[in-house]
Amino acid sequence: MFDELLKVDPEFSESMFKTKVDNTFVMLFTSVMMKDMENVKHIVSEDVFNKYNGYVDELISKNETQMYDMLNVAETEITGIEITDEKIIIKVSLLSKAYDYVMDANGHIIRGQDQTREAKRNYLTFTKKVNFKNHKDVRKCPGCGASIDANLSGKCEYCDTIYNAVDYDYILESIEVM
């Protein structure tokens, strides 16, 4: 399964990719809890961003807070790899566990519960352009040339230029939570 992938992405590492998947997943749901999706905008597709940003807007309008206490990833498995002329597509099955509930403005639980950690199966799709730019080329901000850590928020701390991972790395294209 990895032989064809290594031809188009010779630096691919299964363990590093799984770590990226886990981190992206946790960052996405942490951003929902914090009601600030800007920290993941650079590592998710526009569709994923809009879906979760819409949910955050709904929470804000109702004065509610989504909680995923003790969120962790219990298992990550690559279930498929497809390579097209334009993209590398990697399908992933991820088992997460968390206390999943929604609180009102007074801190009362109105949906879900905080007594039992729920295990959920998540199906994620990550994509990367076949003709991606070398990751080594992106250690500098395209706006001002300063060193940038694209894993944090994707925004240069000096000039606020946004790093767009879609040109360099795998991004979360879709997610389905069971």
Q: In total, how many domains does the chain have?
A: 1
Quote the Cα angle for 52-80-43, to 5°: 30
Higher pLDDT, 76 or 169: 76
Residue 151: inside a domain, yes or no? no
- pLDDT tens-digit profile of 78-108? 999 999 999 999 999 999 999 999 999 999 9
By residue range, what is the domain housing residue 94? 2-132+166-177
Q: Cα-Cα-Cα-Cα dihedral of 10, 13, 16, 19, to 10°?
A: 120
Query: Tell me, what CATH number does 104's domain have?
Result: 3.10.450.240
Residue 140: inside a domain, yes or no? no
Q: In this predicted structure, what is the pLDDT of residue 158?
A: 81
Q: Residue 148 above 80 pLDDT?
A: no
Contacts of 102-108 with C-beta under 8 Å, sequence gap 24+, read 102/59, 102/64, 102/65, 102/66, 102/67, 103/64, 103/65, 103/67, 104/63, 104/64, 105/63, 105/64
- pLDDT tens-digit profile of 125-135? 999 998 865 55
Q: Which amino acid is at 109?
A: I
- pLDDT tens-digit profile of 31-80? 999 999 998 999 999 999 999 999 999 999 999 999 999 999 999 999 99
Residue 37: inside a domain, yes or no? yes
Mean pLDDT of the chain: 89
Q: What is the pTM of this model?
A: 0.86
Residue 96: inside a domain, yes or no? yes
Residue 107: inside a domain, yes or no? yes
